[in-house]
Chain A
Amino acid sequence: MHVLAAANLRLDASAIDYVLLAFYFVLVLGIGYLARRQVSTSLDFFLSGRSLPAWVTGLAFISANLGAIEVMGMSANGAQYGLPTAHYFWIGAVPAMLFLGVVMMPFYYGSKVRSVPEFMLRRFGPAAHWVNSASFALAQILIAGANLYLLASVVNLLLGWPIWVSIIIAAAIVLTYTALGGLSAAIYNEVLQFFVILAALIPLTIVGLYKVGGWSGLMDKVTGSPGGAEQLHSWPGNQLTGFSSNFLSVLGLVFGLGFVLSFGYWTTNFVEVQRAMASKSMSAARRTPIIGAFPKMFIPFIVIIPGMIAAVTVTELMGQNKQALLDGQSAPSGATFNDALLLLMRDVLPNGILGVAIAGLLASFMAGMAANLSSFNTVWTYDIWQTYIKKNRPDGYYLNLGRIVTAIATILAIGTAFIASTYSNLMDYLQTLFSFFNAPLFATFILGMFWKRMTKAAGWSGLVFGTASAIVVFVLNETGTISLPGQGASFVAAIAAFVVDIVVSVVVTYATQPKPETELVGLVYSLTPKSTREHSTTGDDAGWYRNPVLLAGIALAITIVLNIAF
């Protein structure tokens, strides 16, 4: 593990920065406190989210996703691979969000499925539910580790304490914050951190571009740096995938990243889907991810470009340091790509705006980790403990258990934070996790939804074998049997998990008895009445600018233009 403090990499924060930071947390905790003190209809409205207009849910939808993991991971990726990172947005997220709005949302909203474990239980019975809950809980702990590690690296840069002390301190801060603020503060924090992050990243990008001499200056510097001009065009992205063949690289991007990983992530990620469920009508629910897609398209410009600038201007990441990191060794300076954004902030942001940047980063790690902890808590306490281990206890029992589980989860996350800290680019770590957990889940989910014959046994066995095959690909890559240096291994693992899951599910289905059709109404597409999937076009849903399909078409057109231009 690297120790940043040793290389004297410190953020030079002054009193004014700490004041801005403090103001943020006073505001968030204050609102959380007021929320718990007085039962206000208006507040209740935002918290429980009944009948929200589409722009609010759209905002919540995109904020829930633009956390620090995304900001730090994508800028690390930008520093390492350059513009091909934009695929995560233009091939990955945006088309998947549009697919969610146009195809999946009518089904979700109409059938009132509220979570993935719930769908698994009703569609495939307890075995698939068990497998899904357990793997989901594990995934949350592993992702919480990434959040905690990033939070710790900010504490480390601010105060200069060793990373292991920072991790423990960061864990204590998160626990205090969740205990003080509760769920209500968490929801406001999620939306507010998005704006603070924007307020920090836009100036950072502008100043960074000034520093390298504008767009053309950046182009020249990246061309002259290790990695070269290939990092300036999003296609074919060979460095990112690790394939030397252009054709395989494009195939890996489109099918692995675009289809399996991103569609899997967005359609089965109910942390996000639930934001859309809070909207007031089917039309608003469908518009939620589509409205979210518009800002999403432009996020790469303020996360990837600062990463690229950092890789050519920050002393600790330039030249031989970048070369060493690209070769998979540690840089002489001790820095990693994960530090790209923080180091650029240190170099170009004066006190004042630096405080805004620190507040934004800390807030989004908190939001991210709080979301992981609460998802883990819900699944462990209600889906696993209450369903299979101790049934029919009073509510207070489960509430207390929830508190203990949150504390235990935080301690476990300290462990996974150390795993995350061994990756020089956190995006590698995250994409590996997504290939283990999301890719097979997506296969089972989509097959179970569209194919009514699929049986209970096929449900759980597909998941188990899918995840196992992704792990096999991962181990083969780690031991050097196959060698894909970039994130190609995750893309291949995701494709393997998806294909194996489908094959196993089909084989098992034909060997076992299907569920009677009457039990599948509302759970399978063809057995859900069409009327429950349609939306109104009157009143608040009237007008061409509120037509989900048209909005999706506009978003898709802009994305295609962006793909061609870069």
Chain B
Amino acid sequence: MATEPTPRTRKAGAFDIRLIIALLTGVYGIVLTIMGAAFTNDADITKAAGVNINLWAGIGMLIFTALFVLWALVRPIRVPEEEPPAE
């Protein structure tokens, strides 16, 4: 094999901090959206000054999640390999 000029790297994968953030906001987003869409009564809406805040916050979080996943996919973090230079 010809020697590669670039250093050996691999993707950070599931431990990419952006994916962990996305996991958290994704789960919260789904729960809040469902709460807002199906389990919100008038008392809740009156409490929040007429805004269905669970629904809107849930949708906001899902959009945020999608952007973070997209970012992590488009620009993955490259981790330098820690192997000893045996060759």
B13 touches A192 (CB 8 A): no
* Residues of A close to B15: CB separation below 8 A: 40, 42-43, 45-46
B17 touches A353 (CB 8 A): no
A27 touches B24 (CB 8 A): yes
- Smallest CB–CB gap between B74 and chain A, Å? 13
Among B17, B60, B80, residue most surrounded by chain A Cβ atoms (within 10 Å): B17
Binding site for A on B (CB under 8 A): 10-17, 20-21, 23-25, 27-28, 31-32, 35-36, 40, 44-45, 47-51, 53-54, 56-57, 60-61, 77, 79-82
Given the known interface contacts A56-B17, A206-B53, A350-B40, the answer about A192 and B24 at a Cβ–Cβ threshold of 8 Å is: yes
Given the known interface contacts A45-B12, A46-B17, A195-B24, the answer about A211 and B49 at a Cβ–Cβ threshold of 8 Å is: yes
Interface residue? A188 (CB, 8 A): yes
Count of A-B contacts judged by CB separation below 8 Å: 105
Closest 5 CB pairs of A and B: A350-B44, A211-B49, A210-B49, A352-B35, A352-B54
Interface residue? A323 (CB, 8 A): no
* Residues of B close to A53: CB separation below 8 A: 77
- Smallest CB–CB gap between A113 and chain B, Å? 25
Set A23, A31, A51, A347: member contacting B47, Cβ < 8 A? A347
For B16, the closest partner residue in chain A by CB is: A42
The number of chain A residues touching the other chain, given as a range, is 35 or more
A45 touches B79 (CB 8 A): yes
Set A41, A211, A356: member contacting B81, Cβ < 8 A? A41
User: A20 to B54, alpha carbons, bound, how many Å?
Assistant: 13
User: A188 to B60, alpha carbons, bound, how many Å?
Assistant: 23
Set B21, B40, B53: member contacting A207, Cβ < 8 A? B53
For A356, the closest partner residue in chain B by CB is: B28
* Residues of A close to B35: CB separation below 8 A: 16, 351-352
Interface residue? A348 (CB, 8 A): yes
* Residues of B close to A131: CB separation below 8 A: none
For A35, the closest partner residue in chain B by CB is: B15
For A196, the closest partner residue in chain B by CB is: B24
Binding site for B on A (CB under 8 A): 16, 19-20, 23-24, 27, 31, 40-46, 50-51, 53, 56, 59, 188, 191-192, 195-196, 199, 202-203, 206-208, 210-211, 347-353, 356
A353 touches B49 (CB 8 A): no
- Smallest CB–CB gap between B31 and chain A, Å? 6
Other than A20-B28, A202-B60, A356-B32, give 13 A-B pairs with Cβ distance below 8 A: A19-B31, A27-B24, A42-B13, A56-B17, A199-B25, A203-B60, A211-B49, A348-B48, A349-B47, A350-B44, A350-B47, A351-B44, A353-B32
A350 touches B21 (CB 8 A): no
A51 touches B36 (CB 8 A): no
* Residues of A close to B20: CB separation below 8 A: 27, 31, 188, 192
B28 touches A199 (CB 8 A): yes
B25 touches A195 (CB 8 A): yes
Set A27, A41, A188, A203: member contacting B53, Cβ < 8 A? A203
Set B27, B49, B80: member contacting A51, Cβ < 8 A? B80
For A280, the closest partner residue in chain B by CB is: B80
User: A40 to B11, alpha carbons, bound, how many Å?
Assistant: 12
* Residues of A close to B17: CB separation below 8 A: 46, 56, 59, 188, 191
For B44, the closest partner residue in chain A by CB is: A350
* Residues of A close to B54: CB separation below 8 A: 350, 352-353
User: A353 to B44, alpha carbons, bound, how many Å?
Assistant: 11
Among A16, A27, A347, A356, residue most surrounded by chain B Cβ atoms (within 10 Å): A356
* Residues of A close to B21: CB separation below 8 A: 191-192, 195
Set A27, A42, A188, A207: member contacting B48, Cβ < 8 A? A207
User: A24 to B27, alpha carbons, bound, how many Å?
Assistant: 10
A349 touches B82 (CB 8 A): no
* Residues of B close to A188: CB separation below 8 A: 17, 20
